[in-house]
Amino acid sequence: MNENENKGTMHKVWDKVKKISSEAYEKGREYTAIAELKIKISSLNKEKNNLYAEMGEYLYDLISRKEEDICNRTEIKARYEKISDINEKINNLEFDINRIKEEHNIDDADLKRLAEEEKEEEEKAKKEKDDKKKADEKKKASSTTKKSASASKSKSPGSRKGTGPKKSEGAS
């Protein structure tokens, strides 16, 4: 193979590497965007659940006081409207997720696999942290036990001041 053919082959290989890495970078960006949208959805769902709880407590109070025309209460309507707004935001975010998936040919299996890999990495890191903490605690406990054992050996029962027989207690 002459030098020109070698250069041409290297350029082709380099172009392929650049294309693949560019595609991987783009996919990574899209996966990140989807993850961020899902986090927003999760946050909105928590907010919505809090509103449901507040509404339920308020309704319970109204019913226990035998209030009438509960549906027209401003407190109930305000929470209902907030929940409706949140549902609309969630629907818009889910639409964005589906759009990204379609535009970049991402399927749910890929997302699920990535989420599982992330979870495994988090669990592994947590286990390593827990193992290190246990080892440190064990080391500390061992060190404390050695110190107390050596301290008790150095103090024999009669060696402490005032613990031996008193001179005035001699034989009579």
Instruction: Tell me the per-residue pLDDT of 2-31, one tens digit each, with 9 for 90 and over.
Output: 677 766 777 777 877 777 777 777 778 888
Distance CA 64, CA 157 (A): 73
pTM above 0.75, yes or no: no
Q: What is the pLDDT of residues 108-122, one digit of tens each?
A: 887 778 778 778 888
Q: Which tokens sit at 140?
A: 């500390």
Quote the radius of gyration of the chain (alpha carbons, Å).
Answer: 35
Whether residue 55 sits in one domain with residue 122: no
DSSP 107: -
Are 112 and 102 contained in the same domain? no
Q: Are 24 and 75 in a shared domain?
A: yes
Pair (116, 94) in one structural domain:
no
Residue % of the chain over a pLDDT of 90: 30
Q: For helices 3-64 and 108-154, give the axis angle rounded to 10 degrees.
A: 80
Tell me the residue range of the domain where 72 lies. 11-106
Our count of domains for the chain comes to 2
